Amino acid sequence: MNQALTPTPHRAGQIAMGAGALLLAALLAFGAVAIPSDAGYAGVGPDFLPWVLSAALAVCGVLLLRQAFTGGYRDMPEPSGAARGDWRALAWVSAAVLLNAALITTLGFILSCSLGFVLAVRGLRLSEGKPGGAAAQVLRDALVGVAIAAPVYWLFTRLLAVNLPGLTATGWI
């Protein structure tokens, strides 16, 4: 039987991935049209990188579709992990991202990122089948979150001069 006609279990998803890559390439190209092309430093304008990325994404989309239509992705390992998604863990990680975005101007960068870290770590633990964490673990996670967020805040505000929201006038909280 012809390999191109042999159905693969994930063929529809593979075609969707290739088509999605082409759609994203088209959207990126559509956005690049609106960017002025005046050549700047080194003879390239601000529209150069979006056009390069759009072309590369289009090539990837065509190659993905070609593989999907000629027998499916080859040499693809069996998927690892559980057969079904862990919705409870996804809810914790999603809450982490959404609360961080909602509270960053209220709590400040460091505290909102630390809270997001605590919630995301809880979700990741649950996805591994481990307990979410007792009070001592939550406190440890919060301290690790502060230990990660504080240097990031300092790097962006002091070194890169990017304004990030802080709770106090100094911004450290």
Q: Is the pLDDT of residue 1 over 50?
A: no
Distance of alpha carbon 49 from alpha carbon 68, whole angstroms: 28
Percent helix, strand and coil across the chain, each to the nearest 5? 65, 0, 35
Per the CB < 8 A criterion, the answer to whether 39 and 106 are in contact is: no
Global model pTM greater than 0.75: no
Confidence of residue 2 (pLDDT cuts 50, 70, 90): very low
Mean pLDDT of all residues in 26-49: 78
Structural domain spans, the chain? 3-69, 87-159
48: which 2 tokens?
Answer: 């150069």
Q: What's the chain's average pLDDT?
A: 83
Per-residue pLDDT tens for 126-152? 888 878 778 889 999 999 999 999 898
3-state secondary structure string, 6-35? CCCCCHHHHHHHHHHHHHHHHHHHHHHHCC
Local structure of 110: helix, strand or coil: helix
